[in-house]
Amino acid sequence: MITILSGGTGTPKLLQGIKEIIDPTELTIIVNTLENDYFSGVYVSADIDTVLYTMSNQINDELWHGIKGDTFITNEQLEKIGAPELLRIGDKDRATKIQKTELMKKYSLSESVDIQAKKMGISSKIIPMSNEDSEIKIVTDIGELEFHDFLIKHQCQPEVLDVKFSNVSPSEGIIETINNSKAVIIGPSNPITSILPILSLEGVRDALKKTYVIAVSPIIGEDSVSGPASKFMKALNIEVSPFGVASLYEDFLDNIVIDEKDIDKIKDLKQIVNKVTITNTIMDNFKAKKNLAEIILKEVL
Ligand code: GDP
């Protein structure tokens, strides 16, 4: 069994490669739930839905959320009747979210995701990191903002001073899954808002210390490939570099995969990680995703 920790953009790109190489029944994906909340009357678990759509080949992989080729009739109608949405939810995507909202009246988030994954024909196990509601606040120069307000309404523009999130309990099976894994892959997801919330769950860091862990840096050079990761790292006084990423995982990390552009960082990284693997980590086409997946799996299988 291989386990991968995921957010909603960088790691799903890698999953598109991984799922073509290994038996999907041998893969478990633990997914961030920190930003989950209700929007337009439905429960939105953005990272989970992105993983569901990625594993069932439905993902809009230009935006990394929603279903490819979706329509926006409901979204446009809401706008017309004076109820514009903060999140632009497509019609098919909304159906997934309505179903999940209804399922959650009877089942936990984990059970609801299990049901949806089966209906989508996914044979990998997808585990939300927690079944509890969490809260995240971005402290900025214009005040404390909700995560999606910072991301969408303010387009990540304000200066970030701090990132605060609540602690939640791990969902059932997370620790056992890590303990039973041959290796854990930390995908190139936002280290602060996608990976740290998973690492903050009780028992996760200890379990990772006993397992082989390989992480892919979402930072190349001195910036993130996309999104606000570098802003969040700066705010928390973490060096924006593959070294800064590795320092967050230092207590359990066995191998870090960095981009070939960062070859000069090997010496520093070797002081805190046993092994540094160098390759192209920009996944801008399917071949690059598959190549990166092959290199990682060669290190762990
Ligand atoms: P979010 O939930 O949308 O924030 O998505 P994630 O947390 O999964 O991913 C965001 C991170 O993915 C950003 O920090 C990016 O730098 C990283 N990322 C996106 N695409 C790539 C890529 O092709 N290669 C690498 N190395 N990192 C990437």
β-sheet with 160-165: strand ranges across: 143-146, 136-140, 160-165
Mean pLDDT score, 221-249: 97
CA distance 228 to 112: 30
Average pLDDT, the chain: 97
Half-sphere exposure of 107 (CA within 13 A, CB side): 13
Q: Percent of the chain, pLDDT > 70?
A: 100
Phi, psi angle pair for 175, to nearest 5°: -65, -45
- Report the nearest-CA residue for atom 14 of ligand 1: 190
Bridge partners, 162 (sequence order): 139
**Cα-to-centroid distance, 79 and ligand 1 (Å):** 30
Mean pLDDT score, 105-117: 98
With tokens 């290994």, the residue in question is: 22
By the 10 Å C-beta count (0-12 exposed, 13-18 middle, 19+ buried), 26 is classed as middle
- What's the chain's length in residues? 301
Mean pLDDT score, 25-34: 98
**Cα-to-centroid distance, 225 and ligand 1 (Å):** 6
pLDDT of res. 301:
86
CB neighbour list of residue 265: distance below 8 Å, 6 or more residues apart: 241, 242, 243, 258, 276
49 is in an annotated binding site: yes
Domains of the chain: 35-128 (1.10.8.240), 136-165 (no CATH), 174-298 (3.40.50.10680)
pLDDT tens per residue across span 270-296: 999 999 999 999 999 999 999 999 999
- DSSP letters spanning 77-99: HHHHTT---SS---HHHHHHHHH
| pTM (predicted TM-score) | 0.97
CA distance 261 to 219: 11
Terminal alpha carbon distance of the chain: 10
Q: What stretch of H or E contains 223?
A: strand 223-224
CA distances from 284 to 8, 185, 228 (A): 16, 20, 19
CA distance 250 to 273: 7
**Would the CB of 194 count as within 6 Å of ligand 1?**
yes
From 226, 256, 265, mutation site for ligand 1 pocket: most ligand atoms within 8 A of C-beta: 226
Residue 277, token pair as written in the block: 């693997």
pLDDT of res. 99:
98
Ligand 1 atom nearest residue 216's Cα: 26
Pick from 29, 16, 23: nearest CA to 173? 29
CA distance 109 to 261: 40
**Would the CB of 13 count as within 6 Å of ligand 1?**
yes
**Cα-to-centroid distance, 7 and ligand 1 (Å):** 8
Residue 34, token pair as written in the block: 């920190």
Q: What is the 3-state secondary structure (H, E, C) of 30-47?
A: EECCCCCEEECCEEECHH
From 9, 152, 287, 296, mutation site for ligand 1 pocket: most ligand atoms within 8 A of C-beta: 9
CB 89 within 8 A of CB 42: yes
pLDDT tens per residue across span 236-250: 999 999 999 999 999
pLDDT tens per residue across span 155-210: 999 999 999 999 999 999 999 999 999 999 999 999 999 999 999 999 999 999 99
Bridge partners, 137 (sequence order): 146, 164
Ligand 1 atom nearest residue 12's Cα: 8
Phi, psi angle pair for 192, to nearest 5°: -85, -50
pLDDT tens per residue across span 50-61: 999 999 999 999
- Report the nearest-CA residue for atom 27 of ligand 1: 218
Name the residue type at position 289.
K
Ligand 1 atom nearest residue 6's Cα: 8
pLDDT of res. 153:
95
pLDDT of res. 231:
96
Mean pLDDT score, 95-115: 98
